Amino acid sequence: MELTQTSSTLKPAPLEGTDNRYKVLRAYLDNHGLDGLPGNPYEMKAYRTWLEAQGYAQTTIINHISVLRELYRHVGIETSRILKSPSVPTGFLKDSLGDSEAIQLLDFADKTCRLRDRLIIHLMLNLGLRECEIKRIDVGDFYQQDQRYWLRIWGKKAPGKDQKMEVCNGLLDIMLDYRNQFLKGMPSDHPFILSRKGGRICHGSLSRIVSGIMQAAGVKTADNSHRITPHSLRHTAVTKVLQISGNIRVAQKFARHKDVRTTERYAHDTSEIRPEHYATW
């Protein structure tokens, strides 16, 4: 869903893809007789109440509110203080992968997956990127400076790309290979991770790709599917950094968490650190 601004209404263009969050938003707009998103985001505060009335779980509502915020952000309106998500108990985080499972997943992706999908898996396991951060990457966000390569990241709820992370080792090789094959001559604001049609990949497609690879690799099964999700890869990366560094502040910066208490939720199993945990992937 893209937006065009017309007076006091942000009118959604025809939907692209199959992301259910856009369909739900469209249903809300139709239900309330709205031709598009109101230019004033305060008029959308009732969206959360409506989602609750439809019986959506709190974590699902968070996802629906996040796409609404992103649509407003697309036209330069920051709504994080206006369109607030429900609070969720700290125990909602999904499980992380063990070292052997992470290596198994990376090995499977490297041997069987197309280059784009390999890159997605590596970005999540090596840099701990969220799906929303991956889809927002533009060509100009991957750059070389002082003989090192960097990736600018537009963080969760952030009004701009507010952090950079160094890209190195195997991830660097994959990113350079991908850029050379698919993005030569593209402008700096062109999407980096492409959909099959050549546009910016959507959140739903990212989730399906990662889930499918995790299932095919054998790390996501019928027995653990309710606890192992695409977000588990970010959880794995943050937990690994915390184990290796032993420093909650380092892990907080790596995870791009505003509040260190959020990072502390990833420290659930660091009391069992063994020497082999300090090995890199």
> Residue ranges per domain, the chain?
3-88, 99-278
Given a contact cutoff of 8 angstroms between Cβ atoms, the answer to whether 242 and 60 are in contact is no
- What is the pLDDT, as a whole number, of residue 13? 47
Query: Which are the contacts of 18, defined by CB distance < 8 A and separation ≥ 6?
Result: 204
Query: Which are the contacts of 4, defined by CB distance < 8 A and separation ≥ 6?
Result: 10, 11, 13
> b/e per residue, 156-180, with b = 16+ CB within 10 A?
ebbeebeeebebeeebbebbeebee
- What is the pLDDT, as a whole number, of residue 55? 85
Taking the C-alpha atoms of residue 127 and residue 256, their distance in angstroms, rounded to an integer, is 11
- What is the pLDDT, as a whole number, of residue 277? 44
Q: Is 198 left (phi over 0), alpha (psi -120 to 50) or beta?
A: left
Closest by CA position to 48, among listed 34, 31, 68: 68
- What is the pLDDT, as a whole number, of residue 159? 60
Given a contact cutoff of 8 angstroms between Cβ atoms, the answer to whether 237 and 124 are in contact is yes
Both tokens assigned to 264: 């502390």
Given a contact cutoff of 8 angstroms between Cβ atoms, the answer to whether 6 and 37 are in contact is no
Query: Which are the contacts of 221, defined by CB distance < 8 A and separation ≥ 6?
Result: 215, 228
pTM above 0.75, yes or no: no
Which overall architecture, per CATH, does domain 99-278 show? Orthogonal Bundle (1.10)
Taking the C-alpha atoms of residue 165 and residue 171, their distance in angstroms, rounded to an integer, is 12
Both tokens assigned to 274: 């063994």
> Tens digit of pLDDT per residue, the chain (281 long)?
445 444 466 655 444 445 688 889 999 999 999 888 898 999 999 999 999 998 887 778 888 898 898 888 888 888 888 988 887 655 545 688 999 999 999 999 999 999 999 999 999 999 999 999 999 999 999 999 999 999 999 866 556 657 899 999 999 999 999 999 999 999 999 999 999 999 999 988 999 999 999 999 999 988 887 788 999 999 999 999 988 888 899 999 998 888 888 888 777 555 554 555 444 56
